[in-house]
Amino acid sequence: MIRSAITVAGEEAAVSTDRNWAHNAAFDAQAMDDFERRLARARPGNRAQYLRVKGATLLEAGEDEAVPVAVSLLHRVVDDYDFLQVPWAHELLGQAYRRMGELDRAEHHLRQCLATADERRNGTSNVTELLIAEVLLQQSRPDAALRLLDDEELRNRLRWNGNIYRYCLAKARAEQATGGDPKRWSREALRLARDDEPQLPHKPSVGRVRAAPEELAELRSLAGRAPESQSRRFWRRR
C-alpha cells in the first residue's frame, strides 16, 4: 500500500514537534523501542544526529548499565555515516570505553575523532588531545601524555575552567611520573577548584570544575607544603 505524501509529512511533523525525544535518558526495552520507531520516521539525513544525541544523553546520565547501550548507538554512527556526527561519535565512544576500562579502545576512538574531523575540528570538543593524554596516563605512558600536554595549541584552546582544571591535573600527574615538578600545576588545579564560579551567567553549569575528593587529596599531596590558598594564579587565557 502506497502511503500518501500527506501521511509521510504528518509523521515527520510529529517527530519534529517533540524535539527532545532523543534526549530521553531512559534505556529500558520500551524506551529503546520508542526511540527506534521515531528514528525510523525521521529524515535519513537527521538519523546520525539522533543516534549521537541519544548516545551522549545515556553517557551523561551516569548509569553504568546505560554505557553499553550508548556504545551500540554510537557505533551505528561511525559505521553507517560519514559526515559531521562521526568525529563527535568517536569522541563519545572514547569516553565510553574509558569508563568501561577498555583503554586501548578508548585511545583508538579518540584518535579517530581527530582523524575524521575537518581542519576546523568541527564535531569535536576541541580538547580531544587532553582526553587522549588522560587515557595515556591511565595506561602508564606519561612521556607520551606529556608530549600532548606540552602542545601550545592545546593550551590555547582551553577556555572553560573545568577543562583547565583537568589539564593542570593531568600535567601534574605527568610531571610527577616523569621526574618533573608537579607543584605548580597541582596548586593551580587546587586554585581553580577553590575559586570556581560560573563563566556564563545564563548557563551557570557550563564549564564548571568537577573535582572528585580523591583528586583534591592527590593534588594537595603533589602540591607539597603550600596550601592552595597561598598559590598564585599563573594561567593566562590567550
List, for residues 182-207, the tens digit of each pLDDT value. Answer: 999 999 999 999 999 999 999 999 99
CA distance 42 to 7: 13
Domain 1-124: CATH architecture, name and number where available: Alpha Horseshoe (1.25)
Those residues with Cβ within 8 angstroms of residue 61's Cβ, 6 or more apart along the chain or in another chain? 25
Instruction: Give the model's pLDDT for residue 82.
Output: 81
Judged against a pLDDT cut of 80, whether residue 19 lies above it is answered with no
Strand ranges (DSSP E) for the chain? none
Instruction: Give the model's pLDDT for residue 6.
Output: 36
Those residues with Cβ within 8 angstroms of residue 140's Cβ, 6 or more apart along the chain or in another chain? 177
Judged against a pLDDT cut of 50, whether residue 150 lies above it is answered with yes
Nearest to 76 by CA among 57, 49, 103: 49
Instruction: Give the model's pLDDT for residue 87.
Output: 97
Q: What are phi and psi for residue 117, nearest 5 degrees?
A: -80, 155
Instruction: Give the model's pLDDT for residue 18.
Output: 61
Those residues with Cβ within 8 angstroms of residue 107's Cβ, 6 or more apart along the chain or in another chain? 94, 132, 135, 136, 139
The number of residues in the chain equals 238
Judged against a pLDDT cut of 90, whether residue 17 lies above it is answered with no
Average pLDDT score over the chain: 89
Give residue-wise pLDDT tens across range 58-114. Answer: 999 989 999 999 999 999 999 999 888 999 999 999 999 999 999 999 999 999 999
Going from N- to C-terminal start, the domains of the chain cover 1-124
Q: How many C-beta atoms lie closer than 10 Å to residue 92's C-beta?
A: 27
Q: What are phi and psi for residue 108, nearest 5 degrees?
A: -55, -50
